[in-house]
Amino acid sequence: MIQASIITIGDELLIGQVIDTNSAWMAQQLNMAGIRVARRVAVGDVWDEIWNSLEEESKHAEIILITGGLGPTADDITKPLLCKYFNGKMIVDKGALANVEYIFKNVLNRPMIESNLKQAEVPDTCKVILNKRGTAPGMWFEKDGKIFVSMPGVPHEMKGMMEDEVIASLQQRFTLPHIAYRTLLTAGIGESYLAELIKDFENALPKNIRLAYLPNYGMVRLRLSTSGIDGTTVEKEVQAQFETLQSLVKEYLVTNEDEPLEAVVGKLLKAKGKTVSTAESCTGGYIAHLFTAMPGSSAFYNGSVVSYSDKVKEELLQVKRSTLDNNGAVSEEVVMQMVQGALQTIKTSYALAVSGIMGPDGGTEEKPVGTVWIAVGNAQKTVTKKLFFRFDRMRNINLTAVNALNILRQFIIEN
């Protein structure tokens, strides 16, 4: 199987100032194309470290993908290093220059300076990859039968190059296997219990089919994958096993597609021709963000009231002052009234409400940090659930959102 290495460049990656999302995304795209990622390496803006990583990774892979260090400032040393590594000389690429001039004139609407013009300079030993989303061109090199591709570290620029040109060029160059995989999502069962439930199935899997457990925020994805030259055969093999797996976990099955929970909820709502609104306290609009990040969500999602304060709960969601005084904001009574307030204010078929203590402070002996109340309902019925989380603030918010969406999913199915 053709193997690739990914090199990400930048001091900011090593000190944790910037999270490296590039290599994860690139690995997913390569895997889907039938290319195995053998290694991922991060190095700083240091000449010797970058040079040595090129030498080392070319020993392990046929394809070396590089991101970062292509900007116009002095610490961006990738391009001159690659020029020397591949025994080239710098030239101005006409296509890259036209792209830079177009962006400054028509997109940024400001004059160029010399450092911007340098973006169009590339080693004469590379094939230029046009950057349709920025000024720094990508570069394709070949040496000793190995392919090296250098791309910007800006994620959306790198993704554009990968999607528009790099993956297609690699598929043309190599005979790649067909990758077949199926993914399902479960809820309401932990990873260890799930493994026990399907252990006989897992032990009986053919050697060419792999099962992966992917737990995240209280849910577990199961992925079956295989590969082979004959795409029809491998698709049939993995589908047969996937159908068996679905039957084994049907009690906990959320979806048999590789999609997030909010997409599952959206499909249910669209199928019923119904809408939903959210009333969020402790999650601060995060659930609304999950919905609105999906294209087409306006078909089923009407809006949110982020009622972080008691005053907003009272004035916009009609939560009674006496209910807040007697029970506190984090209570079953309050989230039930938040649901009914959202239904009346935003005019939707269903509503979801959450109120809790995310931490790290704010807890009491009666209501410790991590206490959450969730309610979902329609005009006829409201159901509630109390949960306790024990993690940091952001993880508690994520867990609240996931659990709330799953309770909403179940409520929509039943009502």
Query: What confidence tens digit (pLDDT) does each residue in 350-406 have?
Result: 999 999 999 999 999 899 999 999 999 999 999 999 999 999 999 999 999 999 999
Confidence of residue 76 (pLDDT cuts 50, 70, 90): confident
**Domains in the chain, start-ordered, CATH in brackets?**
3-173 (3.40.980.10), 178-255 (3.30.70.2860), 261-414 (3.90.950.20)
Quote the CA–CA distance of 91 and 365 in Å, as a whole number.
69
**Beta strand spans in 171-298 (E):** 178-187, 210-216, 219-228, 253-255, 276-280
Q: Collapse the DSSP code of 112 into the 3-class scheme (helix H, G, I; strand E, B; otherwise coil) and give the result.
A: coil
- What is the arithmetic mean of pLDDT over 20-38? 95
Residue of 252, 236, 148, 144 lying closest to 198 (CA atoms): 252
DSSP state of 69: -
Helix (H) or strand (E) holding 64: strand 63-67
For the chain, percent of residues with pLDDT exceeding 90: 88
What is the pairing mode between strands 121-123 and 90-92?
antiparallel
Residue of 78, 89, 100, 93 lying closest to 149 (CA atoms): 78
Helix (H) or strand (E) holding 293: none
Query: Quick one: tokens of 143?
Result: 């040496």
For residue 357, which phi and psi values (nearest 5 degrees)?
A: -120, 105
Confidence of residue 104 (pLDDT cuts 50, 70, 90): confident
262-to-122, 256, 259 alpha-carbon distances in Å: 44, 14, 8
pLDDT of residue 43: 96
DSSP state of 260: -
Query: What confidence tens digit (pLDDT) does each residue in 108-161 have?
Result: 888 877 777 888 899 999 999 999 898 899 999 999 999 999 999 999 999 999
Quote the CA–CA distance of 269 and 92 in Å, as a whole number.
54
Quote the CA–CA distance of 80 and 50 in Å, as a whole number.
11
Quote the CA–CA distance of 324 and 313 in Å, as a whole number.
9
Residue 4 near residue 64 (C-beta atoms within 8 A): yes
Q: Collapse the DSSP code of 310 into the 3-class scheme (helix H, G, I; strand E, B; otherwise coil) and give the result.
A: helix
* Range with the poorest average pLDDT among 65-74, 170-179, 193-202, 244-253: 65-74
Residue 353 near residue 338 (C-beta atoms within 8 A): yes
* Range with the poorest average pLDDT among 44-58, 107-121, 305-319, 344-358: 107-121
pLDDT of residue 188: 87
* pTM attached to this predicted model: 0.84
Q: Give 73 or 371, the one with higher predicted confidence.
A: 371
Q: Quick one: 88 exposed, middle or buried, by C-beta within 10 A (0-12, 13-18, 19+)?
A: middle
Q: Length of the chain in residues, anyone?
A: 415
pLDDT of residue 388: 95
DSSP 336-387: HHHHHHHHHHH--SEEEEEEE--SSS---SSS-TTEEEEEEE-SS-EEEEEE
Cα 164-168-171 angle, rounded to 5 deg? 165
pLDDT greater than 80 at residue 74 = no
Residue 157 near residue 189 (C-beta atoms within 8 A): no
DSSP helix, strand, coil percent of the chain (3-state; round to 5) = 45, 25, 30
For residue 123, say if its preceding peptide bond is cis, omega within 30 degrees of 0: no
